[in-house]
Amino acid sequence: MSVTRTGTESRQTGGSGLPGGPEPAGSPGAALAAAVLGFFVITLDVSGVNVALPAVGDDLGGSMSGLQWVADSYTLMFAALMLSAGSLSDAIGARRAYGWGLAVFTLASLACGAVTTLGALTAARMVQGSAAAAMVPTSLALIRQAFPDPDARARGIALWTVGGAVAIAAGPVLGGLLTTEWSWRAVFFLNVPAGLAGILMLLRAERSPRRPAPFDPPGQLTAVLALAGLTFAVIEGGHHGLTAKVLVAAGVAVLAGAAFLVVEARRRSPMVPLGLFRHRGVSVPVVAGFACNAAFYGGVFVLSLFFQEQRGQSAFSAGLMFVPMAVITANFNYLSPKAVSRFGPRAVVVAGLLVGTLGCCGLAVIGPDTPWWLIALPMIPLGIGGALAMPALTSLMLDSVPAERAGTAAALLNTSRQIGGALSIAVFGALLAADFLPGMRESLLLAAALLTANAVGAATLLRRPPQDTD
């Protein structure tokens, strides 16, 4: 795949971007390969760890809330720091920021596999999430910079999402197999060779242009406090009720959230320019991305526990249950841009959200004695829904902002997605703790309602082409 690059976009900006790296060849293909592989290991980690959670609990001890923190400590830091990662991408260049993020993620994966306590694993997962926060928006910024042509960029984004879909397919199976045959620790060690390969590919990518992008410490601090307080209140409140700690955490979340909005509105160079939300090409992807991740990752979390704790399946057998969904999902990720070209983003987004709704509703009626194929059947539309919607939402978001705002836009979109995943695990886990089967059904119906509401909103707001941002 070749594209014509302008003089500005081909400009070398000094510094290799990676310590001791050779002069890059400026290959768009190398940039795309590195971006796809990095997204692959991030997604592989999430899907594989979900299947391994029961084994983690058996080995290290811990309640349902402890296992929720293993999952949510990652997504919490992922979501909270991704906003600053967008500014980091713009300020030092996407290639440099992505390279350091991938290196730290690889080292943190080693640490996750070596820990001996649940608290240490939670801390290492926080480091992983922090590194992943730098990787996702910068990977999209790399694609945006490497392929200025919208059609070529759409194909690149489709391959990027396919990388995630393949990881979703491979993660539960590999995670289950490694957990059953060796240990849950191997799930984390699996990231290491993939991370090293990504770094080698990145060395051949073109250096990224930089632009002034002041950091926003008050905005970042209030964002972390708001998300941490909210996550703590939901997880601990669901298990222990409205204790003093839960009430304090909820109060911190509210105050920090309000302070975040005030800070961002008053700063000359905010981390999140609130004016972006006036444009439908930004606001619709942000809200719908939240819903897609809440339904998908919340559903994967619930089903992983259901297969092992309610049906008595091994980790490997539980991972195999996700294969039909993930294999078909990978194909729909690649078909989504073609559907957008033919039918427009509005139709594809709405269709994806409604298909996901059907999957959630179908899964809400299963039980421990349901035949495996009747469980796998509604899992397929759950995966297809996100596979249709997310590439369309991502392209819509990036096409709605100028190139120099690509890092910030990608960070904003993926922050909303990670918040959706983190909060769904917190809320669904609390519902499961009360009574597993009723809680599972309530969780899936809640996800269905969220997807339906977003389908209606997208159908209404995307009637006309979204305006470009200023």
The reported pLDDT for the residue numbered 107 is 93
The reported pLDDT for the residue numbered 198 is 82
The reported pLDDT for the residue numbered 403 is 66
Q: Evaluate whether 233 touches 112 at the Cβ level (below 8 Å).
A: no
For the residues of 5-24, what is the DSSP string, one character each? PPTTTT---SS-SSTTPPPP
DSSP assigned state of 465:
P
Pick the closest to residue 24 from 201, 208, 200, 204 (CA basis).
204
Average pLDDT, the chain: 80
* CA pair distance 67, 74, nearest whole angstrom: 12
2-38, pLDDT tens digit by residue? 333 333 333 333 333 343 333 334 677 778 888 888 8
Q: Give the residue with greater pLDDT, 88 vs 180.
A: 180
Q: Which of 372-376, 389-393, 402-406 has the highest mean pLDDT?
A: 372-376
Q: Give the residue with greater pLDDT, 467 vs 128.
A: 128
Q: Where do the structural domains in the chain lie, given as residue ranges?
A: 28-204+271-461, 216-270
341-353, pLDDT tens digit by residue? 788 888 899 999 9
pLDDT band at 128 (very low <50, low <70, confident <90, very high): very high
pLDDT at 64 over 80: no
Q: Evaluate whether 451 touches 390 at the Cβ level (below 8 Å).
A: no
**Beta-carbon contacts of residue 308 (< 8 Å; ≥ 6 apart):** 54, 314, 315, 318
The reported pLDDT for the residue numbered 14 is 37
Task: List Cα–Cα distances, 76 to 127, 225, 226, 417, in angstroms.
Answer: 11, 10, 10, 11
For domain 28-204+271-461, give its CATH number from 1.20.1250.20, 3.40.1710.10, 3.40.50.300, 1.10.8.60: 1.20.1250.20
pLDDT at 260 over 80: yes
Interval 49-70 mean pLDDT:
81
The reported pLDDT for the residue numbered 211 is 62
* CA pair distance 380, 353, nearest whole angstrom: 13
Question: b/e string for 380-417 if b means 16 or more Cβ within 10 A?
Answer: bbbbbbbbbbbbbbbbbbbbbbeeebbbbbbbbbbbbb
Interval 454-469 mean pLDDT:
72
387-398, pLDDT tens digit by residue? 888 888 887 887
Interval 422-430 mean pLDDT:
85
Task: List Cα–Cα distances, 442 to 360, 412, 449, in angstroms.
Answer: 10, 29, 10
Q: Give the residue with greater pLDDT, 314 vs 240.
A: 314
Interval 197-202 mean pLDDT:
83
* CA pair distance 210, 203, nearest whole angstrom: 18
The reported pLDDT for the residue numbered 29 is 76
* CA pair distance 68, 156, nearest whole angstrom: 34
Provide, rounded to the nearest whole percent, the portion of the chain with pLDDT above 70: 85
Provide the Cα torsion 304, 308, 311, 313; round to 10°: 110
266-298, pLDDT tens digit by residue? 877 777 777 777 778 788 889 999 999 899 888
pLDDT at 416 over 90: no
Q: What angle do CA 146, 141, 162 make, to 5 degrees?
A: 85
Interval 96-103 mean pLDDT:
86
pLDDT at 216 over 90: no
Interval 304-316 mean pLDDT:
88
pLDDT band at 354 (very low <50, low <70, confident <90, very high): very high
For the residues of 159-195, what is the DSSP string, one character each? HHHHHHHHHHHHHHHHHHHHHHHT-THHHHHTHHHHH
For the residues of 204-255, what is the DSSP string, one character each? TSPPPP-------HHHHHHHHHHHHHHHHHHHHHHHH-S-HHHHHHHHHHHH
Site of tokens 């490694």 = 178
* CA pair distance 98, 91, nearest whole angstrom: 12
pLDDT band at 154 (very low <50, low <70, confident <90, very high): confident
* CA pair distance 381, 328, nearest whole angstrom: 9
* CA pair distance 74, 293, nearest whole angstrom: 14
* CA pair distance 114, 163, nearest whole angstrom: 27
The reported pLDDT for the residue numbered 407 is 63
